[in-house]
A and B are shown apart, each in its own frame.
Chain A
Amino acid sequence: MADAVSLRQRYGEDAAIYAGGTELLLAMKLGIARWPHLIDIKPIDQLRRVAATKDLLRIGATVTHWELERDPVVAKALPALARLEANVANIRVRAAGTLAGNLAFAEPHADPPALLVALGARVVLESAAGSRTLLVGEFITGMYQTALGPGELIVAIEIPLPARDVRMAYVKFKVLERPSLAVAAVATIRDGRFVGAPSVVIGAVDEVPRAVPTADFASADVRDPRTAEALAEAARAAVDPSDDLAGSADYKRHLVGVFVQRALGSLIAGAA
């Protein structure tokens, strides 16, 4: 670990951190990116661990999608993440690609960021100067842009574990390889009403995951069709899509509403 940090310090912009390589090697093969040096972090033992306490799940930086999909600790502590991971990309990308690499690359058409932002997850960064922790929502600053400093690397992702009665939903729409749209919703529902405001985050539509303002929905009746429509409207208003291969801006805005309603349906149907 100390070696990785000092290599990062020594080479700065002349080196890239190399984990699964599913994005990095593609970019290098296409000639979009060139690095004289790669710093392979996979041999570092402490980055391979997944551990949970009562209220925190900590995922080391080299843990792959494949491992998260199968990890008994994740399955128990955060089954919604295990399900999400089982549907990222394809088996080969899951076998090699890491969660930290996914966040560090900050490709907007990604699965994990929406759920991680909805859960208030953080990335733990380390450099020669020490370590700091950022919310995933602060770490991802734009399309392929993050707050990662030139001397830093992600060492872990920390996810606060919600209370047992918190429900989670993650739904996505995909026409190409990666999600065109993703909705993560986290909420407590008691006696047919939200307890506090639900957390709803739209992924893959804008350059960064977009949290829907939901303060007005505290205690809303979850089965009232007006709740579903108002939540869909709030989500449509929160995003700023553009026309691209995944569809026109209008089409995507429409789908955001549809998928927010599906996520709500799944929250209502789902066990806590």
Chain B
Amino acid sequence: MARREIGLRLNGSNRRIEVEDQVLLIDLVRSLGLVGTKLSCDTQVCGACTVLLDGRPVSSCTTLAIEADGRAVETIEGLADAGAPGRAPKLHPLQQAFIDRFAFQCGYCTPGMIMAAKALLDERPHPDAAAIQHWMEGNICRCTGYQTIVEAVLDAADRSRRLP
């Protein structure tokens, strides 16, 4: 198998990494310690492995790592602000809203849920519940029954509206 060097912007930092052609994006990010991205169905049905590639949500389980060459990859680890030294990181409004609204139980689907929701809010900062449901249709949660997830996304949109 051929190896090649790719250059990508991973959660805001430029990286050069050597990868084999057949390596999947999920395996690349997890091998770099970004294990928030989860493998589940492995067939693009469940959304647990959702990451953003140039802002668009993709299933990292079915995306070749070489697709990231020259592009920006965002994973759940990139959302919180590092904060001042010695201080706790400040969570992204979506992360905080998921906590406040009890929008997860086991948490396995949550990174994918939040990344999908981030892509939505980046494109449409103030979606209604129906738009959220349509957008998140392909992200499966077996614990929550979805209602709290929709509420969390609505809440996060609302919080961003109130930001200065």
Interface residues of A (CB under 8 A from B): 21-22, 25-26, 29, 66, 89-93, 95-96, 177
Contacts and interface: CB of A to CB of B under 8 A. Distances in A.
B57 A92 contact: yes
A91 B63 contact: no
> Which among A89, A93, A96 has the greatest number of chain B C-beta atoms within 10 A?
A96
Nearest to B50: A92
A60 to B, nearest CB: 18
A178 to B, nearest CB: 10
B138 A96 contact: no
22 contacts: A21-B64, A22-B44, A25-B62, A25-B63, A66-B56, A89-B44, A90-B45, A91-B116, A91-B119, A91-B137, A91-B138, A92-B44, A92-B50, A92-B58, A92-B116, A92-B138, A93-B59, A93-B138, A95-B53, A96-B62, A96-B63, A177-B45
A93 B135 CA distance: 12
Contacts of A22: 44, 62
Interface in B146-162: none
A15 to B, nearest CB: 13
Contact of A26 (B44, B58, B116, B137): B44
Given A21-B62, A21-B63, A90-B138, A95 B56 contact: yes
A29 B57 CA distance: 20
Nearest to B136: A91
Interface string B37-49: 0000011110100
B76 to A, nearest CB: 15
Given A21-B62, A25-B64, A96-B63, A90 B42 contact: no
A25 B57 CA distance: 17
Nearest to B52: A95
Nearest to B54: A95
Contact of A93 (B42, B44, B53): B44
Interface in B5-58: 42-45, 47, 50, 53, 56-58
Nearest to A176: B45
Given A92-B50, A96-B63, A26 B43 contact: yes
A96 B135 CA distance: 15
Interface centre among A92, A96, A177, by most chain B C-beta atoms within 10 angstroms, is A92
B62 A89 contact: no
A25 to B, nearest CB: 5
A102 to B, nearest CB: 14
In the complex, which of the residues A25, A29, A66, A91 has the most CB atoms of chain B within 10 Å of its own CB atom? A91
A138 to B, nearest CB: 30
Interface in B107-121: 116, 119
Contacts of A91: 57, 116, 119, 135, 137-138
B16 to A, nearest CB: 20
A21 B66 CA distance: 13
A29 B44 contact: no
Given A90-B139, A95-B56, 12 more contacts: A25-B64, A90-B137, A91-B57, A91-B135, A91-B138, A92-B57, A92-B59, A92-B116, A92-B138, A93-B44, A95-B57, A95-B58
